[in-house]
Amino acid sequence: MARTLLYLVRHGEQDSDETGSDPGLSELGRRQARRLGQRLRAVPFHAVHHGPAARAAQTAEEIAAFLPGVPVHECRFAADVTPVPAPGRADQAVPQRYADFVDAVPEQERDPGAVRAQAAVNHWGRVGDVDRHELVVTHNFVIGWAVRHALDAPYWRWLGLNQFNCGLTIVQWRSDAPPTLVSFNDIGHLPPGERGQPPVELLT
């Protein structure tokens, strides 16, 4: 039975000193991406897909240097979006502790009813006649939504599923089974000094 293995990567650390609305990678972000490229160089990817943001495109470029012959292209499904409840949908309400965050999402980033996020999952999760390995460089909330989908979790549960920069999440689809979460936020390729700011508070 054929399967699709989707390798989801959050872009590398962005350059906080860069001006403008679309910052590229910091030097640390580039090192993070190269570390991941080294780790993935033996995977037989069909393609590398990335969102339109500069930090996603540059992350894909650094990784692709270790994947000779694998096509790289911009993918609209990998754009940065934030799922928010659709108006009037009580079944999509978020817990009160997240309400202020959701209310503050800028208009251009809002994805009411997660229409765009779910379209991305449906697009990437197709299963054909042969095994496929697809690499997608995207953003934190898009990956969180894909994980929520794989686990068949409540609508709001993408909240709190946070990835390190260049963390690796893998989801598998098969035609004879529901999607499977293979790994989540794997940072084994990043030395402690190159992990950047943790996406959640870690206990040490």
What is the structure's pLDDT at 204?
Answer: 47
Rounded to whole angstroms, the Cα distance separating 181 from 179 reads: 7
Q: Which CATH class is domain 3-191?
A: alpha beta
DSSP letter (8 states) at residue 108: G
Are 101 and 27 spatial neighbours (Cβ–Cβ below 8 Å)? no
- CA–CA dist 113, 110 (Å, integer): 9
The reported pLDDT for the residue numbered 82 is: 96
Rounded Cα gap, residues 38 and 59, in angstroms: 13
Residue-range domain boundaries for the chain: 3-191
What does the pLDDT profile of the chain (204 residues) look like in tens digits? 799 999 999 999 999 876 777 899 999 999 999 999 999 999 999 999 999 999 999 999 999 999 999 999 999 999 999 999 999 999 999 999 999 999 999 999 999 999 999 999 999 999 989 999 999 999 999 999 999 999 999 999 999 999 999 999 999 999 888 999 999 999 999 999 999 988 876 654
Q: Which of 103, 88, 84 is nearest to 159 (CA)?
A: 84
Model confidence, pTM? 0.95
Q: pLDDT of 43-90, one tens digit each?
A: 999 999 999 999 999 999 999 999 999 999 999 999 999 999 999 999
Q: What is the DSSP letter of 180?
A: E
Confidence (pLDDT) at 100 = 92
What is the pLDDT at residue 202? 60
Centroid of chain to Cα 55: 13
By the 8 A CB rule, do 85 and 92 touch?
yes
Instruction: Output the pLDDT for position 200.
Output: 74
| Token reading at 142 | 């898009």
